[in-house]
Structure 1
């Protein structure tokens, strides 16, 4: 009779530890101590070790919770949407934004091996159905591959930088990448504006303007 409450307590403690770990990675950077995570979770350090087995285990548990709750559902929703292209682009845009918000945890997860082939399949599998439906409807170019969708996410995330706290650049370049995924007979769509650039970038901006006039 006493085993069930202990299991329930362990589940609650694990949930607190995982969520404290996710928050600590984003608040403190890539080196939150297990003591700090324990403090935030309101448990002892021994409980953290018992539940996740150390720092690498914490990274894996935190990433799995983040992926299962915030990323995987995006792909699953896109799979059954009535408008496959709209659902696909929403899933990719939301994925980029949520990953950008947890980029410290993602970097730690990559280094620890928490991001596996299975993880990619859980995300790209459902998106493959949405992509096939969009191609069948003439909404996506027929030569687009599901792995291209993963590359689009990675490339958009690569434009995230500290000088663009609002994420204007990643939204601009995501829109550009998605525009390239459409059939070629459509007229080009306007792109979102880029992030403002500091003074040293003015020369590059002027060069862009000069190039535009020549074209």
Structure 2
């Protein structure tokens, strides 16, 4: 049986859907990951029954919020129409870190509940790969760099994000430090393992 979440929405249902997603995203980030569906419904200004008709479980709601946030806020960070391959690549990484920093609770919930949509994440990876290919072709990055390396850059810099630095000074400092290692060097990077990390590692 097709779930209501998979059906095309009427205008009023679409408005409620949007309000629920926005309310859930705000509740998780501002009130914490334990925010209940009842609290989210109240924040959205809809009845609990309306929320449950659209999202039968908390996991369904988390998945929908993750997909919405990722496609609207994180995936576009890798879109670029500039003419400077180095600036396009490094700008994309900086924008991604800023976007991820603002949505750590939601991304953590998605990881905990296995709500990651693999195709969404792979689409972002393909966009990053296009930027990396341009940078390699222009000779402004190490020729041996891979998208996996860029994912590791995101993970490493995200490790410097903390609540005591709301302006993001530390993440910008350490991103600049890590980016310097992407430049062409006289020695090739040591080979990595043959095992690819999980799709949600970043």
Question: TM-score when scaled to structure 2?
Answer: 0.84
Q: Could you say which residue in structure 2 is the equivalent of 1:52?
A: 55
Q: Could you say which residue in structure 2 is the equivalent of 1:89?
A: 90
Is 2:65 aligned against 1:62?
yes
CA contact (8 A) 1:84 1:134 kept: yes
Show the 5 A alignment for 1:1-215.
Answer: 7-75=10-78, 77-78=79-80, 80-184=81-185
Q: For the residues of structure 1 that align with 2:134 and 2:106, how far apart are their CA atoms? A: 33
Q: For the residues of structure 1 that align with 2:172 and 2:51, how far apart are their CA atoms? A: 38
Rate the CA distance shift 1:116–1:7 in 2: closer, same or farther, 3 A. closer
CA contact (8 A) 2:67 2:117 kept: no
Aligned-pair distance for 1:44?
Answer: 0.5
Aligned-pair distance for 1:64?
Answer: 0.8
Q: For the residues of structure 2 that align with 1:87 and 1:155, how far apart are their CA atoms? A: 20
1:56-108 C-alpha deviation (Å, 9 max, x unpaired): 11111111111111111122x23x43212211111110110111111111100
1:104-137 C-alpha deviation (Å, 9 max, x unpaired): 1110011111224323211110111111111111
Q: For the residues of structure 1 that align with 2:155 and 2:18, how far apart are their CA atoms? A: 29
Higher helix share: 1
CA contact (8 A) 2:71 2:120 kept: no
Aligned-pair distance for 1:55?
Answer: 1.2
Instruction: Give the CA RMSD over aligned residues.
Output: 1.6
**Corresponding residue pairs, total:** 179
Q: For the residues of structure 1 that align with 2:98 and 2:133, how far apart are their CA atoms? A: 24
CA contact (8 A) 1:38 1:48 kept: yes
Question: TM-score when scaled to structure 1?
Answer: 0.79
CA contact (8 A) 1:48 1:54 kept: no
1:128-185 C-alpha deviation (Å, 9 max, x unpaired): 1111111111111101101111111111111112222222221111111111011127
Q: Which runs of 4+ in 1 moved over 6 A?
A: none
